[in-house]
Amino acid sequence: MDPQTVVWLAIILFALSSVSFLLIHLSNQRLRGVGWLAATFFAGLLGWGTSAAQPLPLWARQFAGDFFTLLGFVLMHVAVMEMMTKRKPVPSVGILLLIAVCVIDGGVALHLLPNAARSLMPLTLVIKCVRTTYLLLRAAHDEETLPAWFSSAVFIAFGLFQLVRFGMLVSAGLHHRPQSDGLLVAHQVALLVASLTIASSFFWMSNVQLSMQLQLMAGTDPLTRLYNRRTFLNVCDKELSTAIQRHRPFSVLMIDLDHFKKINDEFGHAVGDSALVAVVEAMQAAVRGSDTLARWGGEEFSALLPQADMSSARIAAERVRSNVEKLLVPLALQINSPRSLQLTVSIGLASYQAGDTVESLMQRADEHLYRAKQRGRNCVFPLFDVTEGSRALA
């Protein structure tokens, strides 16, 4: 296969890919990074197109091809940054490499030392491959590990090829020989295959992320962003298995917002929703990062406290109760209405005992919640822990 055939094949494929990715980006904003992926293939299209523009002098075609090829890899890195890290991407190293290509490859060196200038390009591509591989492996979550490793393998293989190409170009420069057609075709084919393979793995990771987002949406409460009851029980099942295997304690809390129906009836559901969100924020500030909060239903919440026995759970529950008691939810000024609303919660807790199931543990916590309401609300039940294996009573 001659170089011109590869170039025209690449032009067709890159043109179709850039348009397809742009349409996908415009039709589905949930797919992060696809817009930059479209820009990646458009930069590649410009690189392949200018390299085939015969009216341009050879040095201009070579410079444009190098510049747009590197620009494509920089934009690919930006696409991965946006997809994996969810932050505004700033490819500082890529910008420096583009400047270096403009100064060295597009400057005097291209006319005086063309072979030396040509050898710069493989090194810049190696640097971008290494940085993108590092980003992929560092930012990938469990479900993204396989596509991230696949993409990394492609980047590593392409980077190794560029190192070999660098050595061959340096050797050719030392012996004052031009770049061979075989090396040029090998580079073109490697670039084409790597670009299309990486794009495929990019969509693989995007589909994994969308699946994770859908699972999260199905398992969370839309108002409070906490887990719902089904997801919480699944987490409890896993903790129960761990507790049995490792012989370690854990506890659960059942939390009820006191007089919530009265809040909705007197002040409206908007105030009720604000109260729920405020309570969630107060509870999140009271528990550990390893603890799991969930909305059990309505004004009821639940919490899983790993490695917490009855005494530790009692301290955590009291911290939750105290944080909520300090809340003041602002109200719109109305006739005979207070400026703010004070909230309280009642909490029932239960610690794992030998032979417990998740259902029995949650039922015991719910019974203790009922006892807390009987005691006048705004309290935690049991009030204190007693000897191992016995029920704590007030």
For residue 148, give Cα distances in angstroms to 124, 206, 365. 22, 11, 43
Whether residue 299 lies in the annotated active site? yes
- Which of 82, 144, 239, 299 is an active site residue? 299
Does the CA dihedral 304-305-308-314 come out positive or negative? negative
Which of 233, 232, 235, 282 lies closest to 257, judged by CA? Answer: 282
Q: Do 350 and 365 contact (CB within 8 A), yes or no?
A: yes
The two tokens of residue 389 are 């294996």
Residues 6+ apart with CB under 8 A from 235: 227, 292, 294, 304
Phi, psi at residue 350, to the nearest 5°? Answer: -145, 140
Alpha carbon distance 239, 205 (integer Å): 29
Q: Do 188 and 244 contact (CB within 8 A), yes or no?
A: no
24: left (phi over 0), alpha (psi -120 to 50) or beta: alpha
Tell me the sheet residues that pair with 241. none
Alpha carbon distance 8, 22 (integer Å): 21
The two tokens of residue 122 are 């493989």
Q: Do 34 and 68 contact (CB within 8 A), yes or no?
A: no
Catalytic positions:
299
